[in-house]
Amino acid sequence: MLFAFAESWLSARVVSAAPCSPSTQLADCGPIHICAPWPKGTDGNICRPCVDDSECEGGPEMECHIDVAHEWAFATSHGLPPLSEAVCAHKSLLPLDLHDTVGFSLTIVASALASGSGIGGGGLLIPLLILVFGFPERRATPLSNVVILGGAVANLGFNLCKPHPSRRKPLIAFEVALMMEPMTMLGALVGTTLNKIFPSWLTTLMLVLLLSFTARRTWAKGRERWDKERARLRCAADESQQSGLLAAEQSSAASERSSVLNLAGAAAAGADLRTASLDEEEAEAAARRRSGQLEALMRAERRLRHYARDVFPLLALLVACFALSLLRGTSRSHSLLDVSCGSPAYLALWAAQLLLLVAASLAIRAALMRRHARRREIGYPFLPDDVEWTVSNTTLYPLLCVGAGLCAGAPPARRRAVRAASMTCPTAESSVGMFGIGGGIVKGPLMLEMGMLPAVSSATASFMILFTSATAALNFALFGALDPQYAGVLFCAGLAGTCAGQLGLDWLLRRLGASQSLIVLLIAVVIGLSAAMMGVVGTIAVVEEVRHGVPQGFHSICATEASGGDRYIE
């Protein structure tokens, strides 16, 4: 019926489509059209919509569908009534088949693995959606964001209920998220541009090297923590046999405490001498004020509403970037201002988004440094794992977050996927990076390097992932890039897998007593698995592109993924 309708529609109009070759179909026609002879009377192959399932490549999961989101270009270009295009797309959710059953099960397992590590799991989910479910890469990216969003929602619920290991305050370090997120978004913006320019084989190679190095370093840190924790547990079990050693350690500790007390006494004596000339009542009043301010701050830190000042700026920044992305558009998406890619107006809007993120980062840096100075002034008791905002680390850490942002986003080694995502949803470009992995996979180990406790770094990374995944999923939904049936089930799978993973991790932590090292080792495992799976998918992508004649050199930022895909009518 579909063939008869399309043939009758075309027979009433004289049209011609772009010629193509089956061996270079991807380069000539793009990812959603086929290269075949049609309609009647046409000599040779042309780029055209499909007419039945047998014409669709990519396995049994691909079917020929009428897609209202696409219209064949010759209709509007010739003033004809628009015709909804028949495209090769993934099958509907129902009826479920073996691929769906296995895929949903593995999605729950992947979400469970990623739940306690603070890594969204995109490095596992995108290969899973492509290799098992059979989704094309342009559909795998939005659906992976939905799974990650479900996991992030579950993680937020668990982490808000968990106490900080060292102090009565939330487990999530909201200030760290506020400091890191703007520059991560900046890195993602730059990374998207590089992704469009770099060839597939180069991004695949750099991706595997980066993830392998990160996994190896994180595993080494986890083993080091594990050995220390095991040693402490053995020492506690053998306490009676180590009484002499413990006595010596206690004596040493006592002498250290004595030295500290002597130093403190000397400092106090010096302070007394310095304040001897001050009025005694004013000194006491100042001390009472500082004590009251410190008590009020410590009390406020126990309440979640105290951290609204850190959350609302992030929301405002995301809204502003959303607006600028809509105004600018991308190489394949429509701009609200009708700005063409590569034009001065396009570059100006791109630079404006860049400057906005830099200005926001500088303003946040200044605010956090003022907070830190105020805390020191009132005698705030910093812990060894607290991040103290100094001139050096408020410069270094945001710059490192730019690198995390460069790695964030869409599937690996697929310029087509990045362009397809940005074509469907221009604001998705803000969360798409050069290598196509979630920024959390880099920011998690980065926070460990900052000296944060693994539990705190994991919870904070999950909180940041909630922002980026929610924004990307909303954008994809608004622009029709999500399959609502699969998206709903995958969201629930991510939610269920994360809940199971969190409960299982809590059980392991209680049983093994290794509350910090196990989290670090889990991060290393997830990164290592991501390196392997993304490498496999990237290699398959490069081979497929070479087989279909896709150029493997550097590309223009405004080049479409397949020039022939837009040339339906001459």
* Segment 252-264, tens digit of pLDDT: 445 544 544 453 4
% the chain with pLDDT above 70? 61
Query: What one-character DSSP code corresponds to residue 470?
Result: H
**Between helices 440-449 and 174-197, what is the axis angle to 10°?**
130
pLDDT exceeds cutoff 80 at 242: no
Nearest alpha-carbon partner for 147 in 108, 198, 101: 108
**Token pair listed for 195:** 């992704």
* pLDDT tens-place string over residues 455-488: 888 888 888 888 777 877 777 776 667 778 888 8
Q: Quick one: which of 457, 476, 337 has its CA closest to 397?
A: 457
Question: Whole-angstrom Cα distance, residue 555 to residue 87?
Answer: 26
- In this structure, is the dihedral angle defined by the CA atoms of residues 246, 249, 251 and 254, taken in order, positive or negative? negative
Cα separation, 312 vs 301, whole angstroms:
17
d(CA 382, CA 186): 31
pLDDT tens-digit profile of 44-88?
Answer: 777 777 766 676 766 666 777 665 444 444 444 444 444 455 676
User: What are φ and ψ of residue 46, in 5° steps?
Assistant: -135, 160
What confidence score (pLDDT) does residue 491 get? 92
Dihedral sign of CA atoms 18, 21, 25, 27 in order: negative
> Please, which pLDDT band fits residue 3 given cuts at 50, 70 and 90?
very low
* Dist. CA 285–CA 21, nearest whole Å: 86
Tens-place pLDDT, residues 130-144: 888 888 777 777 888
The mean-pLDDT minimum among 74-88, 118-132, 165-179, 414-428 falls in 414-428
Q: pLDDT tens digit string along 286-308?
A: 666 666 666 666 666 666 666 77
Taking the C-alpha atoms of residue 441 and residue 463, their distance in angstroms, rounded to an integer, is 13
DSSP helix/strand/coil, 304:
helix
* Confidence at residue 15, expressed as pLDDT on a 0 to 100 scale: 36
DSSP string, 60-72: TTEEEEEEEEEE-
Q: What is the pLDDT of residue 148?
A: 87
Kindly list the domain boundaries of the chain, sorted by start residue: 2-90, 98-230+299-566
| Residue 569, pLDDT above cutoff 60 | no
Instruction: Give per-residue pLDDT as tens, 5-32.
Output: 344 333 333 334 677 776 666 666 766 6
Q: State both tokens at 420.
A: 């397809």
* Amino acid 509: pLDDT: 74
Closest by CA to 535, choosing from 126, 61, 59, is 126
